[in-house]
Chains A and B, each alone.
Chain A
Amino acid sequence: MARRETGRLSWVAKKQASGAHKRSQSVRGMEAGALPAGVGAGSGAPAGSAGYGAAMAVAAAAPGAQASPTPGSTLNILDQPLARQRGEVSLSAYLLLFCELVAYSRNRVSSVVALEARLAAVGYRVGERALEYVCAKSGKPLPRETRILGILNFVVTNLWRFLFGKNADSLKKVGNSDAEFYIEEVEPLVNTFVSVPKDFGALNCAAFQGGIVHGILSAAGFECEVTTYVRDDSSKPGSAEVTMYYIKFSNEVIQRERRLAG
C-alpha cells in the first residue's frame, strides 16, 4: 500500500509543480506537517523544499482518489496570500512519508546510532526552514529572540504548535548548568505508529524531531548540540516512556547570554 501511495505522490507532485491542485490549497507543503486539528504549514515553500512540499501537499488528496487534479483551477502557489492561512497536512500522509523516510534511511546505515543521526540530519533541514516559516506565517510580527529562554519558549510553543498542533509537554533546565536544557514529550507525533523491534535497542525515531529543534536553534543563532533519547518514567500512568530532547548550548552562546544579562 505504501508503495502504491508513493507512486501516486510523485505523479501528482509533477502536477503540483506545473499548476496547482484543488485540494492542495489547504495542505500546502513543508517537510513537517501538523495534526489535522492543529495549525499547519503555510504556502510558499522555499525553493529547497519545494519538491518535498509538493509531495506532502498532494499526499493528502491522494486517499480520496476521486479528487482529480485540474491544473490551473486554483491560485498558483506564488499568488496565494502569505498570512493567516490555516494549512493542514493529512496526518496519514505525513506519517506515511515519515515511515518511508525511516525505512529508506534504515537500509543505508549500519548502526542504530547512525540511523538516529541520519534522521536528525533530515530534521535539521526542516528546522532551518521552519524558523523563517513560523515567523513569516504568524499573524503578527514576532520579535527576534536573542535570549536562550526566549528562543526555547518559542520552540516549545510556537514551533511545536505549528509543526505538531500542540505544545511540547515540558521544558526543563538541568539543575546546576546554564547551558543545558531538555524538552520532554510523552507521545511524539512521528512515533504514533512506530513500533521499534527489540534488535534496534533504544532507537527513537523522534531523533527527527530532535533534529528539527537543532535546526531551528542553529538558524536562530544559538549553536548547540541536541540529543534525543527515551527515558522510562513509571510515575506517569499509561505510557511509561518519555522522549527527551537534550539541548546543550555552546560556550559562545552562554557568554553572549551572560553579556546580555548584564
Chain B
Amino acid sequence: MGVQSFFVLNKAGGLIMQRSYSDRAPRLTQNDYIHLASTFHSMQLLVRELSPVSNARECGGIARMEATTFRLYAMIAATGVEMFVTCDANPATAPAAGAHDRMADFLKEAYISYTDYVLKNPFYEIDMPIKSEPWDAHLIKIVDKYNRVGS
C-alpha cells in the first residue's frame, strides 16, 4: 500500500506523534512536521465550518486528499484527537481502487491501538507528546499489515 507517514494531533492542533514508515516519505525536520500538522489542523477547522452539515461536531472534516505526489487520509475522534496518514501516489505503490475504505480501517485500527497503548499508559499526560515504545512496535505491525494487503 505504501504508507509513508502517520501523524497524531491533539485537540488544539499540536503534533503529539509523527512517524515515517517508508523511504519515500519526505525527510523533514521536527519543526516542519509541527508546522504541517498545525496547518492541516486549521484546514480541518475551516472545512468543518464550511461543510453543509449544520453542526460542526457532526462533520468529520477532511477524510481524504489526493495530490499528485501523495494521498492523505484523515479522521477526527470524538475527543478531538486527529490522525492522518500519507500514502504513495505513484501508481505502482499507490492504494488500489477500493483502498480508501482500507485506509479508513487503518486509521480506525491505529486509533484503537492509541486508546490502548497511550490512554492506558499511566505515565501519559493527555495532549502531551506521545513516547511509547510498545505503541511504536504495534504501529509498525499495523503498517506492515496494510502494506501487505495493498500489494
Contact = CB atoms under 8 A, between A and B. Distances in A.
Contact of B123 (A96, A101, A200): A200
Contacts of A103: 122-123
B120 interface: yes
On chain A, which size bracket covers the interface? 20 to 34
A100 B121 CA distance: 9
B147 interface: no
Q: Interface centre among B117, B119, B122, by most A CB within 10 Å?
A: B122
A196 B123 contact: yes
Given A1-B79, A99-B122, A205-B122, A195 B116 contact: no
A91 to B, nearest CB: 9
Contacts of A95: 116, 120
B134 A195 contact: yes
A194 B122 CA distance: 7
B24 to A, nearest CB: 27
Nearest to A3: B126
B123 A193 contact: no
A197 B134 contact: no
Interface residues of B, number: 15
Given A106-B122, A197-B123, A200-B123, A192 B134 contact: yes
B23 interface: no
A1 B135 contact: no
Interface string A166-200: 00000000000000000000000000111111001
Contacts of B132: 195
Contacts of A67: none
Contacts of B120: 2, 92, 95-96, 99, 193
Interface in B55-90: 79
B69 to A, nearest CB: 34
Given A106-B122, A193-B121, A195-B123, 16 more contacts: A1-B115, A1-B119, A92-B116, A92-B120, A99-B119, A101-B122, A103-B122, A103-B123, A192-B134, A194-B134, A195-B121, A195-B132, A195-B133, A195-B135, A197-B123, A197-B131
11 contacts: A92-B116, A92-B120, A100-B122, A102-B123, A103-B122, A193-B134, A194-B122, A194-B134, A195-B123, A196-B123, A197-B123
Pick the 9 closest A-B CB pairs, nearest first. A102-B122, A195-B132, A193-B120, A103-B122, A99-B122, A99-B120, A95-B120, A193-B117, A197-B123
